[in-house]
Amino acid sequence: MAENRFRVLPGFGLTMGFTLCYLSVLVLVPVGGLFLRTFSLSWADFWRLATTDRALAAYQLTFGASLAAAVINAVFGTLLAWVLVRYDFPGRRFIDALVDFPFALPTAVAGLTLANLFAENGWLGQFLVPLGIKGAFTPLGVVIALTFVGMPFVVRTLQPVLENLDRDVEEAAATLGAGRLRTFLSVIAPTLLPPVMTGFALAFARAIGEYGSIVFISGNLPMKTEIAPYLIVIRLEEYDYTGAMALAVVLLVISFALLAVINVLEQWANRFAK
Amino acid sequence: MSIELRNITKQFGGVSAVNDVSFTVADGQLVALLGPSGCGKTTVLRMISGLEAPTAGDIFVRGKRVNDVPVQKRNIGFVFQGYALFRSMSVVDNIAFGLKIKRWPKAERAARVAELIELLDLNNLEQRLPHQLSGGQRQRVALARALAPKPDVLLLDEPFAAVDAKIRQELREMLVSLHHELNVTTIFVTHDQEEAMEVSNRIVIFDKGRLAQIGTPREVYEEPASEFVARFVGVMNVLDCEVRDGVARFGELEFQAHGTADGQRLRIGFRPYAVQVSNDLTAHRHRAVLRHTYFLGVLLRLELELPSGLIIRARMSKEEYARLNLAEGREVSLQIRQYRVLSREGESLPPEVSVTHSLSLSPGEGI
């Protein structure tokens, strides 16, 4: 920005300064504080606190369930976005509005509702539990809750891209003899991959951080259905701040690494963009 | 007959976009579908391709009815206005797409793609992605992709509308030479009458979903079937005249109108080239003042004002203009050497009545 080019709306200095301040106060300082606090621990202590059996089980559940939920959302969210954009049917606007519901609903309410629904005597549970599908107080319940909260991310990321898809390109494929499946796979899918990955990353990140809905549906059994954020809360309740910090740092580092990888993949998938 | 449309009608939600259109295109022709936007020409093209189905009427290709043949099976090449290239594929993959689907063996496929790269002058661009190409290059790739599977018919929808004037000219010439070389039946849609005149050997003109005229560029220019065609193809002076004593008059201008009853109204048209201008004020009957000269390149367009205030448009070469020593504000004399009765009392006329009247036109002057 060394060149002094004319701009209709000046103010790079002011807006950039504000952006840096804002990000520092909201993100950098808290995260930095977290790291500094953990640095007071020796490496051996940190490792011991961060890798207890209970903690490992919690990481596994958190990341495994988040991944599963994000994959489910990527597939069905894409389908939902496709239907909402491509077809006009009665009630389309209602369903479209419904997609935002998980954004607006307090997560605790969502958790409570889902737990009731899938409990042995719940509306769905009374049919599913005899079939061996236990939705409440199991890892499956965690996946269900995370799928619920992550759903809007994929749909809302994909919708504008689908709306801007050129029909011409599909027609061009058809005039060249391509059937529907071929057209979808070779022409549409490469365009949709980047936004699907963005939606996936957002849903995944949201799922890792989710707490409110899961504490109700999972039952929080140590080693079985206890998620990492919940374990952090337990450590805090035990006044074990350093233990909580150690867990938090692990969550932070893994999340950051995963998002970085997804970002790189996304750029690769987006290499055709104009 | 290569392609025949019989009484084709297309309605979108009860509104007719195309109304009872019939015409045929012979094998190997290069035909333009011409008309203002919204006249239904693109819809006709899309129905020939199979991207759109007619509401009524039949389409025949080589004598076979193709109404129910899906677009994938019609063996057509289609070029879109916005290129519609597959943006995740390189130039080579774009061109080879149709060949892959038709399961050409790999070696033949590579040979065909190389042939088209050569034909459309796309050398050294083989591995580029569409977003790394200019508009003209993209449209050439789109043409190559459409031609690769050796289609029976090549259809182009406003193919050159999205590129700038210079490239458009190059692409037009390329299309003509490609057609010359490959001799594939080609139909293209355009709203640009100059483009239609220059490129095609037959023009189909549409007006509000109906066929207005079909003919060679010369026919539609010199013998327009209606005032709409006359005005749409080139410039025409049109006068609304009243007939008295077998003569149609407008201000001081008079035109022979035998066989038309007194009191009837005729619409008379004449092209700018039919107005003969002289700096000798006694040479012709009418006087006029040269109000304005437009420089169009080799040709100039003149606006001449008659004493009654009527303004008519004339055309002449730069050399002629200089020879006559003309300038804006100068007085000239003029005569109209050729005119055409376009309609009578608002009704269009049968072809035998609506002929072009000429005054001793010497050969080579009907430019």
Asked whether residue B12 carries a pLDDT value surpassing 70, the answer given is yes
Q: How far is B85 from chain A (nearest CA, A)?
A: 6
pLDDT at B78 over 80: yes
Give domain status of residue A142, yes or no.
yes
* Confidence check: pLDDT of A126 > 70: yes
Domains of chain A: total = 1
The number of beta carbons lying within 10 Å of the beta carbon of residue A16 is 11
Distance from CA of B155 to the nearest CA of A (A): 10
Query: Are both B288 and B213 inside the same structural domain?
Result: no
Q: Which of B175, B194, B227 is the last residue before a domain boundary? A: B227
Shared domain for B191 and B251, answered yes or no, is: no
Residue B260 lies in a domain: yes
Residues B187 and B243 in one domain: no
Out of B175, B208, B227, a domain closes at: B227
Taking residues B271-289, what's their average pLDDT?
90
pLDDT in tens, B81-97: 888 999 889 999 999 99
Residue B118: per-residue pLDDT: 93
Of B189, B186, B170, nearest in space to B121 by CA:
B170
**Which range among A221-225, B29-33, B125-129, B285-289 shows the weakest confidence by mean pLDDT?**
A221-225
Q: Is residue B365 part of a domain?
A: no
Q: What is the share, in percent, of chain A residues with pLDDT greater than 90? A: 32
Residue A199's domain is classified under what CATH number? Answer: 1.10.3720.10
B180 shares its domain with B253: no
User: Do both B65 and B128 map to the same domain?
Assistant: yes
**Tens of pLDDT along B128-170?**
999 999 999 999 999 999 999 999 999 999 998 888 888 899 9
Per-chain mean pLDDT for chain B: 89
Question: What's the CATH code of the domain at B265?
Answer: 2.40.50.100
What is the band of A1 on the pLDDT scale with cuts at 50, 70, 90?
very low
Q: Is residue A9 part of a domain?
A: no
Q: What percent of chain A has pLDDT over 70?
A: 97
Looking at the structure, tell me whether residues B222 and B249 fall in a common domain: no
CB contact under 8 A, B131 and A174: no
- Supply the DSSP string of B307-340, one letter for each residue: TTS-EEEEEEEHHHHHHTT--TT-EEEEEE-EEE
Residue A273 at interface with chain B, using a CB cutoff of 8 Å: yes
How much is the pLDDT for B348? 63
Percent of chain B residues past pLDDT 90, beyond the cut: 61
* pLDDT (average), residues A187-214: 89
B158 in the same domain as B197: yes
Is B62 a domain residue?
Answer: yes
Arithmetic mean of pLDDT, A120-142: 84
pLDDT of residue B351: 57
Assign 3-class secondary structure to B188-208: EEECCHHHHHHHCCEEEEEEC
Predicted confidence band at B227 (pLDDT cuts at 50, 70, 90)? Answer: confident
Interval B271-292 mean pLDDT: 90
Q: Which tens digit of pLDDT belongs to each residue from A142-155?
A: 999 999 999 999 99
Residues facing B340 on adjacent strands: B269, B356
pLDDT on residue A3: 57
What pLDDT, in 10s, does the model give residues B98-124?
A: 999 999 999 999 999 999 999 999 999
Nearest chain A residue to B93 by CA distance is A186
Boundaries of domain holding B244: 236-358
Assigned domain for A85 exists? yes
Query: Is B213 in contact with B185 (CB distance < 8 Å)?
Result: no
- What pLDDT does residue B102 have? 93
Q: Is A181 on the interface with B (CB under 8 A)?
A: no
Is residue B156 classed as helix, strand or coil in its secondary structure?
A: strand
Give backbone dihedrals phi and psi of B308, rounded to 5 degrees, phi first. Answer: -75, -5
Tens-digit pLDDT profile for residues A39-57: 888 888 889 888 899 999 9
Together in a domain, B48 and B142 = yes
Give the list of residues 6+ apart from residue A186 with CB closer than 8 angstroms, or none.
Answer: A173, A178, B86, B89, B97
| Residue corresponding to tokens 């083989």 | B126
Task: Looking at the structure, tell me whether residues B186 and B72 fall in a common domain.
Answer: yes
Q: What was the pLDDT predicted at A30?
A: 86
Chain segment B337-364, per-residue pLDDT in tens:
888 888 877 666 665 555 666 665 444 3
B residues 82-111 lying closer than 8 A (beta carbon) to A:
82-89, 97-98, 101-102
Report how far residue B24's alpha carbon sits from residue B214's, in angstroms, rounded to the nearest whole number: 10
Q: What is the pLDDT of residues A26-40, one digit of tens each?
A: 888 988 888 888 888
pLDDT of the residue at B255: 86
Phi, psi of B108 (to 5 degrees): -65, -35
Task: State the average pLDDT over residues B304-326.
Answer: 91
pLDDT per residue as tens digits for the range B179-206: 999 999 999 999 999 899 999 999 999 9
Provide the number of structural domains found in chain B: 2
Q: Cα separation of A89 and A104, whole Å?
A: 25
d(CA A50, CA A231): 11
Whether residues B135 and B100 share a domain: the answer is yes
- Distance between CA A176 and CA B145 in Å, rounded? 8
Got the DSSP string for B248-284? EEETTEEEE-TT--TT-EEEEEE-GGGEEEESSTTTS
Residue A28 is assigned to a structural domain of this protein? no
B contacts of A274 (beta carbons < 8 Å): 87, 131
Give yes or no for a contact between B143 and B135, defined as CB atoms under 8 angstroms apart: no
Bridge partners (DSSP) listed for residue B292: B303
Are B38 and B138 members of one domain? yes
Does A165 reach chain B within 8 Å, measured CB to CB? no
- The answer to whether residue A33 sits within a structural domain is no
Whether A262 and A204 have beta carbons less than 8 Å apart is answered as yes
Domain assignment of residue B364, yes or no? no
Q: In which domain, by residue range, is A112 found?
A: 43-269
Tell me the pTM. 0.80
| Domain annotation covers residue A6 | no
B175 and B298 housed in the same domain: no
**Boundary-marking domain end, from B227, B253, B272:** B227
Whether residue A186 is contained in a domain is answered as yes
- Cα dihedral angle (B71, B77, B79, B80), rounded to 10 degrees? 0
What pLDDT does residue A270 have? Answer: 78
Assess if residue A235 is contained within a domain.
yes
